[in-house]
Structure 1
């Protein structure tokens, strides 16, 4: 590596930093004012690329036509964002934060299929910017002229945002709303239109970032999730709500990635390490380090890391006799379900998928609901369990029975390691650290060809002979799912479960009565990892193979959707949510190519109709395993600290 190539690579990194900043600045603005973690922000970026492609085709590829198309694309995305805020998000501002996240994820599905319908599945290559198609010679290397323009746009937008936020009345209101939204409303400011304006501005920046990338990258349907992951990292590293922090974080991450590409590989004690492969995960490594050392980000404020106040959560109540009878009746029906296999040959296969999804969702609900710890990377433990079992069977030729035991234990050890760092954070910061760990695990699995099979995965992961028939495996999956649910329920009504819920509701009170909060949360992470790993093992043997997709961000998001659809504050939530989501996904996907949009619309409808989750909504009318009144009943087993709700100091 020469000095000239390093300098050129670092300059190219500045162009990437400008785009990352534009998207992250919009996301940071939206979160700072509305407190919504906008999962659809990457979709607005994707729409910006597609729209500029269309507008340039219509207007023409002249200089005036191109730059007019860029601005018009950003404005069109801003209008789309304003409509989304008015028609959907404005109706759920009072809902729990995670349900707002669920609504924005539903929008991701809708936007993806809308783009598929309008522009098709093929990559679309936009024209180069007129007059900027050449390159500039620097140190014997060629740097694209368009990259130099992008490098200038980033600081220019930062300066404009600073002027807007610090030299205008609207900017003053935005900064005031970031600090205290309730006080802004008490002063007579129309918060609704303030939120709409901020959301539109954030979407404008995302659309502008996408439109500017038209000459550099093709428009494709995978840009939404790729972009939102990077944007989340930049916002969290810089500090939630900090625009200068987002700019600094974008520079830091882009230059580190450029440095990895420039160096290529290094030798440490005779071991060759490929730094270029780290570009898949380097931003998540940076985020993990920053969050461990400085949990509130580079330019964030310490109090921003605290968990926000939520609605009071009543203690869980054991199920009544009637509900227990219904539960066992449901198990009996599932035991008899294979009798219908002649009329519905696909029924047992679908039910096995539902059993695996239920166990996966129940393990996530364990730490999110009773534990109060939000995880965006739960698929890490699903993948660890699945890959551990697969490697034991394929590589070491162990019997399936041992793999069924060892796989979940490996996942539990992974959760024990990651949980030790994660429980030191809270709220969005904890969630993003779990996402970082999941992406690190995914990158290792994806690139370790010799052990994990790399992108091809592992095949030949078949059950033992006595479980080879679909019927036998069906009963194995059913037994594991029922046993897992019963064990998790038993833990929740044991002293450990009460202590965990006390820690969720009030850290200070829990500490005062002698509960080691961090230790309880750490053990809860490990326990959830074991059950999640068990779901992964069942998944691997049901498919006969395992690939990196099983540990991707989309699977973690699926788990979040399942839990929130059912309801966080009820034990039936993950069962109902996972069953409904898996069934809907299967049925709709077999009927139309645009199943994501239909599924997204269904999720949106459910969020608007049942903001507490489906099971949580119906718990208001019938007694059940988690009766959710405002006050707990006497004799329910709930300690006084469990009735206090979530305090600002809660983890």
Structure 2
């Protein structure tokens, strides 16, 4: 038992080295460019695919194998530099969250590009010559290649340390991390510096992927899986800290290895499988670290402290034009099922759009006016869906009661998670929400007796009077319309004014007596209620649910909807959700490579409309009756806005 545990811990060192390479590149890019690069996992995935192709042809000798690995990383680095120059350089001045939207579009493009080039099957590369065997360690075989990886990780750390502390390039990188504006004032070409940093960061991701060819197969799911793990390591270590990334990678990899080595434990007669805990161990570690030390192990305290941001333009109740447009839209939606005879699929698609609208509106409620960025909003969507299913299946309640009570499970989750989340801000807040979402996903995925595990829960059909697609469409329309209207009304209540005051300046809001954390906690719970309602509607519209409803991709879809429509407009999430869902459905039926086409569409929209679709329309054609553009109204302080609301 002890020998097996020690062997697992040594294996964990190899995993830590691979994880460090990816996380170090991500940390380096974020430290200088301030881009949360969601496509970093895609570069890792491409590194494995390119290494597979090169090593399969030239990797028969030791020199050929290692040169092939280096060449694969170099190819990926060149691709990363081109992406930075052609795409990212155009949107550096856009809001930071739009960088996330653009890099998510790249994820879709790269995934379908890999599908087109290498196909959907898992591809297994050759083993490293002269390192294909194993050595005996305490009676257990330890792959020789793993020993090589254990050595490579510290060597890369040493090379990065030397490059960042002993070279002029490193001095410029550290200066850019501290004060980019001052660096530009000194005459340094920031554009080429950013490209160089992106090249090195992507090279590390590609190298991390290429080194995994003898250990794992190249497959299309590695992008999102890897970026989640890399984000965890970077945040736990401290954003921008290379040594922090190394220590965090060691910590997380060794905890996973420890769980595998121990296997099972018995507590109070209850047998617990620690091996299953590895699915979520990294996110649990991140949640604990962020709760205890919000800025990470090696990060700076100022990075996680809420400060005073630039005040946003105030929003105001809808004017006559917008009210007329809203009524006209509801009339069109009310008569839309009349076309079901010509387009039988229309009611089903409209149900999906309305559910997406409610989901996006609830996320916008805390992101826009609340200023709280969430990467894990799907947790409350999934809790609402599973809540409705459990009320229906376990408690045998009528469908109508299950639909209304399902969101209470989402509220319960938000009460617990939100209490911790509102104590952070920025990327750290976003990553903590992601950690809680992954914890919920893990519980749902493994609790077979209650949630059905990976199979989910089946047979969630509406009552007889709602059995037709048109009848269920009208129910969804009523719920979505009321939900969006209530969320909008709350933004013009004292709570809404307090949320916006807290977003713009915590210090000023607290100075006039606002309990900022309590206000944000309440907003968090309210958003989860309506998100849970969207989940309940989704469960009965599909007739079945699975852990996919809490996946990272669904949370990212919500972010895309909000940002695509426009974060600082109230109509934005409605338009963004409708456009994104319609595009996703329409493009998917046109080609097998629909994700790439959708990604290109999103990327073009981001470059053309960095302020979102609705924001562009407002700025181009005039006030949209939601916010002021210039004048005295835009100079109101948060305190004045709060007094006006009260």
User: Which stretch shifts more, 41-50 or 53-62?
Assistant: 53-62
Is the Cα contact below 8 Å between 1:106 and 1:603 reproduced in 2?
yes
CA distance in 2, matches of 1:476, 1:375: 28
Paired residue for 1:649?
none
Paired residue for 2:61?
62
> Shift in Å at residue 78 of structure 1?
0.7
Is the Cα contact below 8 Å between 2:105 and 2:603 reproduced in 1?
yes
Is the Cα contact below 8 Å between 2:508 and 2:638 reproduced in 1?
no
In structure 1, stretches of 5+ residues that fail to align are 644-651
Q: Please list the CA deviations of residues 520-569 of structure 1 after superposition, one character each: whole Å capped at 9, or x if unmatched.
A: 00000000000000000000000001101011000000000000000010
The answer on 1:369 being equivalent to 2:368 is: yes
In the TM superposition, structure 1's runs of 4+ consecutive aligned residues that sit over 6 Å from their partners are: 634-638
Q: Please list the CA deviations of residues 435-472 of structure 1 after superposition, one character each: whole Å capped at 9, or x if unmatched.
A: 00000000000000000000000001111111111111
CA distance in 2, matches of 1:628, 1:118: 49
Paired residue for 2:604?
605
In structure 2, stretches of 5+ residues that fail to align are none
Q: Please list the CA deviations of residues 401-446 of structure 1 after superposition, one character each: whole Å capped at 9, or x if unmatched.
A: 1112211121112111100000000000000000000000000000
Is the Cα contact below 8 Å between 2:164 and 2:174 reproduced in 1?
yes
Paired residue for 1:480?
479
SS at match of 2:214: coil
Paired residue for 1:624?
624
- Report 1:82-481 matches (<5 A): 82-306=81-305, 312-481=311-480
SS at match of 1:136: strand
> Shift in Å at residue 54 of structure 1?
0.7
> Shift in Å at residue 629 of structure 1?
1.2
Q: Please list the CA deviations of residues 493-524 of structure 1 after superposition, one character each: whole Å capped at 9, or x if unmatched.
A: 11110011000000000000000000000000
Is the Cα contact below 8 Å between 1:314 and 1:632 reproduced in 2?
no
> Shift in Å at residue 633 of structure 1?
3.1
Paired residue for 2:37?
38
CA distance in 2, matches of 1:587, 1:637: 44
CA distance in 2, matches of 1:251, 1:94: 35
> Shift in Å at residue 395 of structure 1?
2.2
The answer on 1:596 being equivalent to 2:595 is: yes
| Cα separation, partners in 2 of 1:637 and 1:86, compared to 1, 3 Å | closer
CA distance in 1, matches of 2:41, 2:376: 18
CA distance in 2, matches of 1:388, 1:379: 14
| Cα separation, partners in 2 of 1:318 and 1:152, compared to 1, 3 Å | same
CA distance in 2, matches of 1:631, 1:288: 43
CA distance in 2, matches of 1:309, 1:638: 11
> Shift in Å at residue 317 of structure 1?
1.5
Is the Cα contact below 8 Å between 1:320 and 1:623 reproduced in 2?
no
CA distance in 1, matches of 2:14, 2:120: 28
CA distance in 1, matches of 2:27, 2:208: 14
Is the Cα contact below 8 Å between 2:59 and 2:126 reproduced in 1?
no
Is the Cα contact below 8 Å between 1:315 and 1:632 reproduced in 2?
no
Is the Cα contact below 8 Å between 2:311 and 2:505 reproduced in 1?
no
| Cα separation, partners in 2 of 1:345 and 1:186, compared to 1, 3 Å | same
Is the Cα contact below 8 Å between 2:376 and 2:436 reproduced in 1?
yes
> Shift in Å at residue 312 of structure 1?
4.2
> Shift in Å at residue 140 of structure 1?
0.8
User: Which stretch shifts more, 512-521 or 408-417?
Assistant: 408-417
SS at match of 1:570: coil
CA distance in 2, matches of 1:510, 1:400: 43
> Shift in Å at residue 306 of structure 1?
3.8
CA distance in 2, matches of 1:479, 1:392: 22
CA distance in 1, matches of 2:128, 2:37: 30
Is the Cα contact below 8 Å between 2:460 and 2:544 reproduced in 1?
yes
> Shift in Å at residue 625 of structure 1?
4.2
CA distance in 1, matches of 2:632, 2:331: 32
Q: What TM-score, normalized by structure 2, do the two folds share?
A: 0.98
CA distance in 2, matches of 1:352, 1:634: 38
